[in-house]
Amino acid sequence: MMKTTTMGVKLDENVRDRLKALGATKDRTPHWMMKKAILEYLAKEECFEREKQEDQQRWQRYRNTGEHLSHEEVSIRLTRLADQARMKTATG
């Protein structure tokens, strides 16, 4: 079982009232909604940071090697992949 801990968040009255009202509408507690919002935010930001790190690694690899694909080469490769996927779907 995962250990949990309590953290406080200071909210102004307007935000607190909005949370309570929305919670009542959705039959959810303000705690549930705040936790869900935090988890969704974390997932989005962690994904952004992973992608940013991958982009930086790709940029560094390009700077080190000069290897790249032209727009036309990428287009050809993507078209081939799409064609292969369509063929797989068509053949079952």
pTM: 0.68
The alpha-helical segments, DSSP class H, found in the chain are: 13-26, 30-65, 71-91
pLDDT in tens, 72-87: 999 999 999 999 999 9
Query: How far out from the chain centre does Cα 4 lie?
Result: 24
> Per-residue pLDDT for 90 more than 80?
yes
Report domain extents, the chain.
Answer: 14-91
Amino acid letter, 5: T
